[in-house]
Amino acid sequence: MNTSTSFGTHTAASQTKDLGFSLSNGTGAFCCFGIESKYRGWFVPVGGKMLKILDDIQLHPPVSGLRNENGSIALQRGPFSQRLLMPEGVDGLACALSSPQEMKVLFDVKHPYDQRQWGREYAVAREGKHLLVSFIKRADSREDPSSGAEEYKIYIAVSCNGQPEIVRGWAERRFPFDERRNSPPFSRFVFHALTATTDTLVLGVGSNAQEAIHACEKTERSLKKMQVQHQPPLLHLPDHLALAAQCASDALSGLIHDSRIYAGLPWFFQEWSRDTLISVRALILKKKYALAKEILLRYLKAIQPDGTLLSKEGGIVSADAFGWLCLRLEELLSALEKQKAHSRFFKRRELEEMIELLEKAASGLFQRHTQNHLATCENKTTWMDSIDRGASPIELQAQRLRLYDVLYRLTKKKVYADLKEKLLKKTRQLFWHEGKLRDSAEDGTIRPNIFLAAYIYPNFLSAKEWERCFDKALPRLWLPWGGLATIDKTDRRYRDRHTGERPESYHNGDSWYWLNNLAALVLHRLNARKYKKYVDAITNASVRDILWQGFSGAHSELSSAAEQEPGGCLNQAWSDALFLELAFELADKRGHKHFK
């Protein structure tokens, strides 16, 4: 399909198979369309729980162009255009057309991960000028221990021009996207509530009828008042790069609600500590200092007695999340000092409490997660959580070195300088051999985690040593389309195709965009001229993904190694954030010194 994608005042064109996108409203609600998946549709937190509400609004012909206009999506469908709007702070969705067309409205109310088919009761009735769709989910003995018990009930108000035809039928939808991801089920029956020939369709949802009608009416008013406002460029860069940077910024903003960052859409609508803390640097660069501070202090107060953080609420330990917290705190304090805004954002008592909590965490780590001066962790608790890497991964050593550095600068206590020197000496002995940097003390496999070590603690090696390290590793990891494999391509464990929900390829081949962008950032800082071809190739691959693959205007989680294709979540927070960080670096011509 020849499609065009445009954002603000920018337009770009490319050959692409699908044209997906996502929208959000700042309260946790979002919609994702353009993918044939059970995660397509409109999702809203109702009664404190995320629910899928709508499967699709079926229209013909297919989408041939897309324009993202600051909170709404404009789609071209042959001779007519379509606009989708989710007003900020309102549990509503509006669909407006340039001329009346037939729309089929398909509902699929459920918890997003609930694949049960039975016990779904819909009713459709007229309520004044609205249609009111009510839904009850009941337990059913064919799938549940009991039968007939009501689990929850919600209402959806529908408003449209003209007289809709009430259908009350069922339609089977197939999910080829999920089939490619090995994510069953691959089909599901959804409720065809109505068909309407109209130019405007507005939906509102609520726990009761009045809430739903109120949300529908507020959405109607927002649609009438809507004005498209063009944003100035975020960064002064070549057109497509500037466009991708603006898109990544907007996509990241769309994942933030109530000072929390969704890890990714359409299915990671939770906050994950590691993903959030990696993403905070982008907020600092955008000068969202108050938001960055709120997030960092919240996590600082959530540190476990052993110095670690949980991966998410009720989740397992994330061994590396605290290290990212420490790094981002240091970066926030440095940014505030440069802006001479330190005193506006941190009171003296807050700084004292922060140091106390950092020292307490360091003590917990030293007592529970340190052996022979090395930072250690439990199996499968780093970001590469699908594989065994050994107890002492390279990036954990870099994070611990950074922690000791930060604590020494904040407290001037010699003990932290001594600990840093002992760890630095030990890691060089165990990890650095003949120009190669081991992935862990126990494992010499070539993996791109060496770039994490360079990003987190550049002084681990000298600049010349880093170049020697990367010169040996890059041929083993480099993918011609502009990415890095997650393991040496000659390793027997290497998988060149993404295996979806079966994790064989996750960290044994798949190319992760957040890490690709981070690697480009490191290479540019180290020797921009020498590594230009790598930096340009990674940057261009990310631009392609953001503008023309997956969800247009958002950065995918990963790609297969064999060829560039969108994989995993199609709007991933840390992918957006690290591309934005790379774009800021490329736009800054001052050439800050990071490597000695």
Confidence (pLDDT) at 481: 98
DSSP-based three-state secondary structure for 192: strand
CA nearest to 42, candidates 69, 24, 62: 24
Count how many Cα atoms sit within 13 Å of the Cα of residue 207 in the half-sphere of its side chain: 8
Residues 6+ apart with CB under 8 A from 504: 495
Asked if 103 and 95 touch (Cβ cutoff 8 Å), the reply is yes
Q: For 357-378, write each residue's pLDDT tens digit.
A: 999 999 999 999 999 999 999 9
Q: Measure the CA–CA gap between 559 and 563, rounded to whole angstroms.
A: 8
* Strand partners for 154: 135
Nearest to 81 by CA among 98, 93, 66: 98
Question: What does the pLDDT read at residue 269?
Answer: 93
pLDDT digits (tens, 9 = 90+) for 107-145: 999 999 999 999 999 999 999 899 999 999 999 999 999
Report pLDDT for 135.
Answer: 98
Q: Distance between CA atoms of 579 and 512, rounded to whole angstroms?
A: 12
Cβ burial of 405 (10 Å; 0-12, 13-18, 19+) is middle
**pLDDT, tens only, 48-93:** 899 999 999 999 999 888 887 767 899 999 999 999 999 998 999 9
Q: What is the DSSP track for 193-211?
A: EEEEEEEEEEEEEESSHHH
* pTM as predicted: 0.94
SS3 of 33-80: the string is: ECCCCCCCEEEEEECCEEEEEEEEEECCCCCCEEEECCCEEEEEECCE
% of the chain with per-residue pLDDT over 90: 84
Res 418: pLDDT: 97
Beta bridge partners of 462: none
Strand 72-77 versus strand 80-85 pairing type: antiparallel
| pLDDT for the residue numbered 16 | 41
- For the chain, which ranges sit under pLDDT 70? 1-18, 70, 227-236, 591
pLDDT score, position 238: 78
